[in-house]
Amino acid sequence: MTTPLNERRFANAIRVLAMDAVQKANSGHPGAPMGMADIADVVWREFLNHNPQNPNWINRDRFVLSNGHGSMLQYALLHLTGYDLSIEDIKQFRQLHSKTPGHPEYGYAPGIETTTGPLGQGIANAVGFALAEKTLAAQFNKEDVKVVDHYTYCFLGDGCLMEGVSHEACSLAGTLGLGKLVAYYDDNGISIDGEVEGWFSDDTEQRFKAYGWQVLHVDGHDSDAIRKATVEAKAETSKPTLIICKTVIGLGSPNKQGKEDCHGAPLGNDEIALTREALGWKEEPFVIPEDVYAAWNAKEKGATVEAAWDKIFADYQTKYPAEAQELLRRVGGVLPEGFSEKADAFIAETNAKAETIATRKASQNTLQAFGPLLPELLGGSADLAGSNLTLWKGAKGVETDAAGNYVHYGVREFGMTAIANGVALHGGFIPYVATFLMFMEYARNAVRMSALMKQRVIHVYTHDSIGLGEDGPTHQPVEQIASLRSTPNLNTWRPADTVETVIAWKSAVERQDGPTALIFSRQNLPFQTRTQAQIENAAKGGYVLAEEKGELKAIIIATGSEVSLAMEAYAQLDGVRVVSMPSAEVFMQQDAAYREAVLPANIRARVAVEAAHVDYWWKFVGLDGRVIGMTSYGESAPAKDLYQYFGITTEAVINVVKELTA
């Protein structure tokens, strides 16, 4: 028999905190926290292994609130279980610089594993967590000692299931048999527009069974049923589990429960008073009885669980000291000793070879060199490995070897990228993912989330311009590079040749505070001769590749394949400097003196050339300068014909420079 509502004191603590915080902010979503409170009570008090006093404990279970609009559910859970999230923080819900923003934000409050809000990406992140756990466990666990052994629990709602990214990620999760992923679907039948049955009639059970998931059904307000289903989910080790929980949104609100009225708006003071009465909750707003706090507090249990793991890890360290040290290094995000020096040696080797090859091939060569140095690399491509050249000789697919280092993501660009975010957040890996630059558009919001969460995810994009040729405008990127460059905290590199490619990869790997987009050509690009000083300056994002002959009159700025055009024009001009700018963002991070040395402010005759949308470059050339590039979509033809047709040629560069310096 289901427990009467007014006797669910522990779950009701979530409900009152949610409705009080939303009311005080006069903004928010009380319905989901109130509807999922009973599920959360069981999962967090009985199953979740975590330590509020050490939120970053390696072997903690991960919890993801994919329906992130219900953020007060997670904040209430963190507060009640003893994390450093006070009742004052709860009162500051949705206020400037608070630990409790409108959606869970990674890095704002302890215990928040990922930023959720864009629906569907949370469950995709959860797939990434589960993938990372399974792969890390396979790489480090021994038959007699398991040091990586935890679950990923995810709450999600109707909106998450309607978003296409959930299809991509959950399909792959079933294929990979991620048995330690347990998802709880808040099946309340309500979204902002009302009852979802008019626009969401999927057979969710059959959908997930087709993916290869175990699917269970429970009354989301029956604690015994939730408990039994969770036990059953954990017993199934070869499949992820979806527990479909039939719930009532806003449960406890006499006049608004079960309606869209409580989805995304405060209940109102009168309704809150009625809800308190229905819940049997006598305390004032933001007051939790001591016995409820005591029942929720997870500090002692968490310390005990972590201490038990510490003993296991101590045994592991004794038996397998090298592996233990390596695991700690990797989860700490520290690169192997000597990596930078070895990478520099490979740059020097690449420079000596002076190869004229496509930068996508130079990227693969770099992976071949870096891969053996970086066991934490976990790569993957959205079905285009043979074109992206993301496979290297040491790559092993995780679908056949759980201890592998490569994921065949299939044609799932968005899911792939959101999963990679989860992998990075889990720790122990540096994920890189790849597709054609044009199809970055499918993954755009997940790329944004990489940057927003400051995660070290390496986004590899090939076939970078009209230079890919005959596939035509549907495959030829025009505005995508500008879109990436305009993303805060994302470093975008478009290298001109083999040396700049290795430098770009090194920068991406060594970067600790955010993602990097690496943009590579399909076609061969001429090698550019450089001094050692120029190689060092290339790592600064922009540098003088060719010094002016005589008095400096004009500057040509170029990236990628267009650097060779700039150099061809340079050979026929006097008083012109060529600046290669593989990463404008990294260049802008340099000090003012260096930027001035490369681009002197008094030289107003500037030309930027790039086979991409022209708008980005105006901030570098100024109103007196010119940009040679794309202002339309491409066409289907051989690359040489396209460059001629769109006027991105050596002759065009020469003519513009002469015009500006006349």
Distance CA 529, CA 582 (A): 15
268 dihedral zone (left: phi>0; alpha: psi -120 to 50; beta): left
Alpha helices in 3-69 (DSSP H): 9-25, 31-42
Establish whether 249 is an annotated binding residue: no
**CA nearest 437: which of 479, 407, 470, 396?**
479
Establish whether 613 is an annotated binding residue: no
Helices and strands (DSSP H and E) totals, the chain = 27, 20
Residues 31/263, Cβ–Cβ less than 8 Å: yes
Establish whether 188 is an annotated binding residue: yes
Write b or e for each residue in 147-171: b if 16 or more Cβ atoms lie within 10 A of its Cβ, otherwise e.
bbebbbbbbbbbbbbbbebbbbbbb
Assess whether 500 carries a catalytic annotation: no
Q: Which two tokens stand for residue 2?
A: 């289901």
Establish whether 503 is an annotated binding residue: no
Establish whether 82 is an annotated binding residue: no
Establish whether 158 is an annotated binding residue: yes
Establish whether 522 is an annotated binding residue: yes
Establish whether 387 is an annotated binding residue: yes
Establish whether 84 is an annotated binding residue: no
Task: Please state the separation of Cα 434 from the chain's center in Å.
Answer: 13
The amino acid occupying position 587 is F
Establish whether 243 is an annotated binding residue: no
Establish whether 29 is an annotated binding residue: yes
Distance CA 189, CA 212 (A): 24
Q: Is the dihedral of CA 298, 454, 118, 128 positive or negative?
A: negative
- The β-bridge partners of 639 are none
Q: Using alpha carbons only, what angle is made at residue 11 by residues 10 and 12, rounded to the nearest 5 degrees?
A: 90
Give the three-class secondary structure for 119: coil
Question: How far lies 318's CA from each of 59, 60, 490, in Å?
Answer: 18, 22, 41
Establish whether 360 is an annotated binding residue: yes
What spatial distance separates the first Cα and last Cα of the chain, rounded to whole Å? 89
Point out the catalytic residue in the list 105, 163, 168, 413.
413
Establish whether 190 is an annotated binding residue: yes
Establish whether 263 is an annotated binding residue: yes
- Tokens 């050490």 sit at which residue? 54
Establish whether 159 is an annotated binding residue: yes
**CA nearest 241: which of 230, 250, 252?**
230
Q: Is the dihedral of CA 248, 253, 258, 262 positive or negative?
A: negative
| Residues of each annotated binding site for substrate | 29, 263, 360, 387, 463, 471, 475, 522
Q: Which residues are annotated as a binding site?
A: 29, 69, 117-119, 158-159, 188, 190, 263, 360, 387, 439, 463, 471, 475, 522
Residues acting as catalytic residues: 413
